[in-house]
Amino acid sequence: MILLFLGTLLGIIFGPALFILVPYIRNYFAGAVCKSKAKLNGKVVLITGANTGIGKETARDLAKRGARVILACRDTAKGEVAACEIRAETGNQQVIMKKLDLADTKSIRQFAENFLAEEKELHILINNAGVMLYPYAKTADGFEMHLGVNHLGHFLLTFLLLERLKQSAPARIVNVSSLAHLMGRICFHDLQGEKFYQRGLAYCQSKVANVHFTQELARRLQGTGVTVNALHPGTVQSELTRYSSVVSLLWKMFSFFLKTPQEGAQTSIYCAVAEELESVTGQYFRGCSELSFASSPLQFQH
Ligand SMILES: NC(=O)C1=CN([C@@H]2O[C@H](COP(=O)(O)OP(=O)(O)OC[C@H]3O[C@@H](n4cnc5c(N)ncnc54)[C@H](OP(=O)(O)O)[C@@H]3O)[C@@H](O)[C@H]2O)C=CC1
Ligand SMILES: CC1=C(/C=C/C(C)=C/C=C/C(C)=C/C=O)C(C)(C)CCC1
């Protein structure tokens, strides 16, 4: 009886307060917004994995800013639907879909060859595509899937397009990593996970590789006018959890606390357009700001 009374009393006192606070709590979890008003008319942008999630929202925003946006997608039907939607919404007819399967180096080479033949400039490359919690599988070239798609595929793509980026300088490379890298190690003795495989750790390894790649490429690109930065988008309600029904369910249950793909795209957009980042390179971003601890030396496991 007393408990019921107390419960009702607390409900009467805190109920309305909670109701008023809900938008503020949501706003907190939505995270920072890219405030840059930069226009991108005449600029060429390439985004991998742009048919859904963070990549699609990044493409939508950069298309609104006037860029020629190439959506590089493994599933051309899904990619075309996304491109059509963005063209219709933004009125920007320079939104184009091209086939790219990062799990196959033949597809990457074919994509790059066509791209270099068709596009004379490339100002912003966003290495966004990714898989997480993939059951053990190998790419067409025999690389473990997380490492192959999330890191090696983007590594090859970037390498093949590097001269075009240099010719188009100032240019930017944006690598979508994840704070999951903090839990990762590069297992040089078993890079392809043939002796031991845990899909969460395989994802973390690929994200550590993204960070090392960013730091070393930034060093090698000093003085070229091409910058390269990595970022964590936040925890985002996207299709990334599709290979795990348990994590998908958790993501749905707690969706109130997760970012929408549009909110999750803000740091990618920031790294791609913010005027103040013109010469910032080799850094790690989260919530549209630089994160210093993530650039501390990472550990290798030999
Ligand atoms: N969501 C989150 O909480 C977080 C996401 N990230 C990172 O953000 C990035 C975007 O993820 P998010 O939008 O959430 O996930 P989604 O699963 O929604 O999007 C991933 C995209 O990558 C594409 N992709 C997957 N495999 C390949 C391939 N072999 N070749 C080409 N494209 C491929 C997918 O294409 P298709 O639809 O055809 O499969 C899809 O377009 C990833 O790098 C992810 O690791 C980092 C931290 C947290
Ligand atoms: C603790 C906890 C959650 C937070 C999970 C986080 C923070 C996940 C981060 C994932 C990343 C970084 C993925 C991609 O790279 C949930 C699921 C919301 C609800 C259950 C309890």
Q: What is the CATH number of the domain that holds 239?
A: 3.40.50.720
Instruction: Please give, one letter per residue, the 3-state secondary structure of 181-226.
Output: HHHCCEEHHHCCCCCCCCHHHHHHHHHHHHHHHHHHHHHHCCCCCE
Residue 7 covered by a domain:
no
Number of domains, the chain: 1
**What is the predicted ipTM?**
0.97
Q: What is the span of the domain harbouring residue 192?
A: 41-295
- Centroid of ligand 2 to alpha carbon of 254 (angstroms): 9
Q: Identify how many contiguous H helices and E strands the chain contains and give both numbers.
A: 10, 10
Which residues does the annotation mark as catalytic?
203
- Centroid of ligand 2 to alpha carbon of 88 (angstroms): 34
Q: Is the CB of 209 under 6 A from ligand 1?
A: no
- Which atom of ligand 2 sits closest to the CA of residue 253? 19
Residue 145 covered by a domain:
yes
Ramachandran area for residue 290 (φ above 0: left; ψ -120 to 50: alpha; else beta): beta
Residue 3 covered by a domain:
no
Residue 54 covered by a domain:
yes
Q: Is the CB of 250 under 6 A from ligand 2?
A: yes
Residue 9 covered by a domain:
no
Residue 239 covered by a domain:
yes
Residue 300 covered by a domain:
no
Hey, whose CA ends up nearest to atom 13 of ligand 2? Answer: 235
Residue 171 covered by a domain:
yes
For the stretch 166-203, pLDDT in tens is 999 999 999 999 999 999 999 999 999 999 999 999 99
Do the bridges between strand 68-73 and strand 44-48 make them parallel or antiparallel, or are there none, so unpaired? parallel
What's residue 7's pLDDT? 72
CA distance 289 to 218: 18
Q: Is the CB of 31 under 6 A from ligand 1?
A: no
Q: Is the CB of 257 under 6 A from ligand 2?
A: yes
For the stretch 131-170, pLDDT in tens is 999 999 999 999 999 999 999 999 999 999 999 999 999 9
- Which atom of ligand 1 sits closest to the CA of residue 102? 30
For the stretch 90-126, pLDDT in tens is 999 999 999 999 999 999 999 999 999 999 999 999 9
